[in-house]
Every structure is written in structure tokens, then in C-alpha cells.
Amino acid sequence: MEDPRRAAATPAGAADALRRAAPALLAFAGVRALGLLVLALWSAAAGKSPHTLLTARWDSLWYTRVAEFGYGWEVRLPDGTVHSNLAFFPLLPWLERLVSAVIPLSAADAGLAVSWGASLCAAWGIYLVGELLHGRRAGICAVALWAVLPVGIVQSMAYSESLFTALAVWSLYAVLTRRWVGAGLLASLAGLTRPVGAAVVAAVWATAAAQAVRERRVSWRTALGVLLAPLGAAAYVLWVGHRTGDGLFGYLDIQGQWGNGFDGGLAFALFVGAKFTSFPLALAGVALIVGVALLIWLYVLCVRQGQPLALLVYCGMVVALALCASGYFGSKPRLLLPAFPLLLPVAVALARVRAGRAAAVLGGVALASAVYGAFWLNGSGPP
């Protein structure tokens, strides 16, 4: 097998890596196309615009406003709470503004184009990580599983999850192949995309520290990657603190106004507990408990599978931040979307199944995911 440290290091290597990933990318595109088709049919029946659902609702509106008018806009709620657009990290709106300046698209449509392109880049990166660790079939299955997640429709929205996942997975792939400068740059960009970029930084730092202890030396490339990794998130948080006059705590105060914070999972536990006040709600409470147990079980499988330290640190932090943060609990499935390493144990098991059977299973799940995505987006949606 080709040395992964050298793979994709040249144009020819990148072309070969893209060729190997082609079946995975085609499968991903097919699943996303199915989701959009079902969404269009469902929305037409409901008298709604699928374009509006994908580009002009919930967080996508806030990103578009940042792209068009910059920071400084806020909404004051009747109870006096202030929601500021400073809560939204800048990389996606920057790209929306750039794309709309180059191509005759609105900022909202530019956000959609960025998300669609980023989702393909994320799928390519997931394939390469799966291939590197478990072989080609596992890489294809990992991409297919990421595409058919129940909230996979978010990958096709003008949201930042696809962009963040693309930057995170390629940073992690760079760590696995010991390209430290690239890993640090991509981690820095991930930190400019979402607060959970801290998980990518932690993965870079943990792996670099383990390598330094093992080799009893630190190369200049490793040191540079470590220094670059936190710059994006740190720069934005410090800028917000300076703008608000609240220093290091400025961004946390803004998130607190939105009802977001880290409480170790207390608010989520109370939310689940409140479901057991009546029989119909108790079923939802049981489902939530089963879902959390499934996430923990999958992470345990990742550990038993011997996943690299970078993946375990990254995935563990993404899951912990999603489950242990206060805020709107309906968004937690969306927040878990970047936790792709959880899918690798399932992908390995699926890769051992006959190709026809695996395709049938994934096809059925893809259809169910498309229906659920259309129902979800025409209803409560993913704030």
C-alpha cells in the first residue's frame, strides 16, 4: 500500500485519491439528491418553498445578514434578552460574501453553494480517513453512513456544519498523515467556523504531545502546526471581547444571552426528566435515553477499535459539547453531525457484508432519511 504520508502530496496523488473516492462521492451525491427530491415534493404538497427552507430560515438568516451587513445587528426579545449576530463565527459569511462577489448569486444562495461544495469535500475527507484506517470499502461505507444520517438534510442547507466538518476531517487526516502545518492551518479555519473548533485544536495538540513524548523531540513543523491551530478561534473570541468591552468573557456573555452554555449536561438531563410527566412524553424520554446510550456505546466501540488518538479526542469533545451544553435541545442532533468517527465501527461491520446487501440496507435508510429530513424541515427544523 502507498505510504499515506506521501499520498495526495502531489497533483497526481490528489487525482488518484479523488479517483479512489469517486464511488463514495457518487453515493453521497445520490443520497443528497434523493433528499432534495423528497424535500421538493413534500414542500410542494405543503405549499412551501424548498429553496426558502434551505437558505432563509433559522441560522441561515443570521449568516446571510452577517455576509450582507457585517456584525452589530441584534434582536431584543420581549423579556429583555438580546440575541446578537456576534454569536455566529465568521468564516461561512465571509465565504458567502466572497462567492456572491465573484458569481452573480445572492448571499443566501452563495451560502448554499458553499455548503454543497463543503459537504462533498467533507465526504472525500471521511472516505480518506476510513480508507487509511480500514480499507477502501470501509471508507465508502463511512461516507454513505454520514450521508444517510437522519439529520443529513443539514448537509444541503446554508448552515456551517458541512463547512466545519470538511475543515475538521481534513485537519484530522493531515494529523494522521503527519502534515502538521496543514493540520494547524485547517484547525485554525475550523475555529473560525464554529465554537466546537476547539475539538479540532485539542486533537492536534493531543497527538503532537503524544508524538513528542514518544520521540522525545519536536520538529519545527509540529511546533508550527500546534501554534497555528488555535489562532482562528482565539482571534474571533478576542475580537468579540474587544468589540463588546467585556474582554475574554465577551463571547461567553453573548452565548449566554442566547441561552447557550456548558453545564455538564444538567439542563439536558432535566429536559429528559421532564418527559416522564405523562405517558406519551415518556416514550420520547425513553427514546432520548436510548439515543444517548447509543452514542456512548458507539464511542466505546471507537476506543475498542483502536482509533487514533486524534479521532478519539476530537469525537469525544464533539459529543461532550453537544450533550453537555444548555440551549435549544432540538438542535443537538445537528450539533452531532460532525462526529463522523462514531460511524467508523459501523462502516467496518457494513464493509464485511456482501455489496448487494449493504447497498440495499443503505438505500432503505437513505429513503427513510430523506422522508424524515423533508418532514423535519417542513416542521420544527434545525435551529
DSSP summary character for residue 87: G
Tens of pLDDT, residue by residue over 111-140, are 999 999 999 999 999 999 999 999 999 999
CB 117 within 8 A of CB 300: no
pLDDT > 60? residue 213: yes
Higher pLDDT, 327 or 348: 348
Tens of pLDDT, residue by residue over 306-342, are 999 999 999 999 999 999 988 777 789 999 999 999 9
Rounded average pLDDT over 198-206: 98
**In degrees to the nearest 10, what's the CA dihedral of 333, 338, 341, 345?**
40
**Among the listed ranges 61-75, 162-176, 275-289, 298-312, which one has the minimum average pLDDT value?**
275-289
pLDDT > 70? residue 3: no
pLDDT > 80? residue 1: no
336 vs 333: CA distance, rounded Å: 5
Using alpha carbons, select from 150, 146, 159 the residue that is nearest to residue 57.
Answer: 159
At residue 330, the pLDDT reads 79
pLDDT band at 4 (very low <50, low <70, confident <90, very high): very low
Burial 239-255 (b: 16+ CB within 10 A, else e): ebbeeeeeeeebbbbbb
67 vs 259: CA distance, rounded Å: 24
Tens of pLDDT, residue by residue over 100-110, are 999 999 999 99
Helices and strands, counts by H and E, the chain: 18, 4
Residue in this structure with the C-alpha cell 465571509, named with its chain if needed: 94
Q: How many CA atoms lie within 13 A of 195 on its CB side?
A: 15
160 vs 158: CA distance, rounded Å: 7
Tens of pLDDT, residue by residue over 352-380, are 999 999 999 999 999 999 999 999 999 98
108 vs 304: CA distance, rounded Å: 43
Q: What percent of the chain has pLDDT over 70?
A: 97
293 vs 301: CA distance, rounded Å: 12
Which helix H or strand E contains 326, and what residues bound it? strand 325-326
